[in-house]
Amino acid sequence: MTISRAPALDFRKGDHMRNFITLALALIIATGCVSGYQQFYKPFADANTLPDIELLKQNQEPQVFGTDNFDRDIKILRSKMR
């Protein structure tokens, strides 16, 4: 009794097509993941358009304030500025 074998299959063409489809799907998915921040991002404020901006001078340290009562401390700070 002889055992017959199936003819050898040539998968090379199928592998190329599968690789192409995988690459195409990966590129389509990757383009959908782009953030698009340039289209939707708007800066909070432009320093050139603010009327009362005060810039730090060279080597000047900024003043940092902390508070637990914002309204009270704003009133105190404004009274000191007059």
- Indicate the helix (H) or strand (E) that contains 50: none
What is the overall mean pLDDT for the chain?
A: 78
**pLDDT tier for residue 1 given thresholds of 50, 70 and 90:** low
Q: What is the pLDDT of residue 68?
A: 93
pTM over 0.85: no
Q: Supply 1's token pair.
A: 């009794």
- 65 burial level (CB within 10 Å; 0-12, 13-18, 19+): exposed
CA distance 20 to 27: 11
